[in-house]
Amino acid sequence: MNTPRLIDGKAAAARVLIEVRKDVERLRAQDIQPALAVILVGSDPASQVYVRNKILRAEEVGIRSLEHRLGTDTSTEQLLDLIARLNADGSIHGILLQLPLPAQVDELRALQAIVPGKDVDGFHSENVGGLSQGRTVLAPCTPSGCLYLLEQTCGDLRGKHAVVIGRSNIVGKPMAALLLKADCSVTVLHSRSPDPQALCRQADIVIAAVGRPRLIDASWLKPGAVVIDVGINRIDDAGRSRLVGDVDFDSALPQVAAITPVPGGVGPMTIAFLMKNTVTAALMQQHSLSEAVCHSIS
């Protein structure tokens, strides 16, 4: 077998961001400044890091970012008030509500309150439904990033058997929908699947998104499979804290054609696609605005 390839998410994200920057410049030339509002409720340490990185990346590509921090004791109504203001603000193109939310906040109501055209996470049921119908909508960022890496690595995905491990609303389910849209045969495995290893060993493509450190080793993988590891798990390794994926990288490497490392694989792609979605949202709002003007003139 050929030497396994490391899939470089940092380099791929940099390529996506170059295109995003060009789109930002085109919009600015038309006096449109793309803007992303990021809402952080509470003080979850990992969420604070994610939000900081999103805001830094936005600034780098010329997207205006506005951070809204709400206290841990925020009520659903208070959050809905803020979302309503951001929905109504024509200078804001994207709204991102960082998850998880404190237990007292109704997550579903909050996500449904974001207008679908500003829903840069693709979590509103209008966008979720559109994706499962195969329509072009704002799609969740992490699975969009995984699909981009797969297209770059495998070329044509049609007819490939993809196994998605994990069925979360953020990654597993939208990943399956995107792979179906790309004409893959898709199997979704979860905690109740009997003999998941045997099913996974049939896959040409494996997407691991379960949040269980190093669960998937060589015994799960067909020789020559392409593996995308979405997991980011902090473990204690002989007294030192470090990040590992859902895949046991050292065990998997000799078995695969290509694999993403953790960190440096999927992580940078999530933020790159958030920027891409923000620009797409700005373009969509510009188009619907110009269509509305045309209608009012005609």
Q: Which residues bind ligand GUN (CB under 6 A)?
A: 96-99, 121, 141-142, 170, 270
Torsion of CA 156, 161, 166, 170, to 10 degrees: 30
In the bound state, the residue with its beta carbon closest to ligand GUN is 99
98 among known catalytic residues: yes
CB of 143 to ligand GUN, least distance (A): 9
In angstroms, what is the minimal distance from the CB of 41 to ligand GUN? 11
Known binding residue 166? Answer is yes
Nearer to ligand GUN, 121 or 204 (CB): 121
The 3-state secondary structure of 127-141, one letter per residue:
HHHHHHCCCCCCCCH
CB closer to ligand GUN, 255 vs 277 = 277
- Residue whose CB is less far from ligand GUN, 142 or 187: 142
Q: Is 222 a catalytic residue?
A: no
54 is catalytic: yes
Catalytic residue chosen out of the listed positions 23, 121, 229, 248: 121
Shortest separation between residue 150's beta carbon and ligand GUN, angstroms = 18
For ligand GUN, the closer of residues 46 and 84 by Cβ is 46
Active site residues: 54, 98, 121
Give the annotated binding-site residues for NADP(+): 166-168, 232
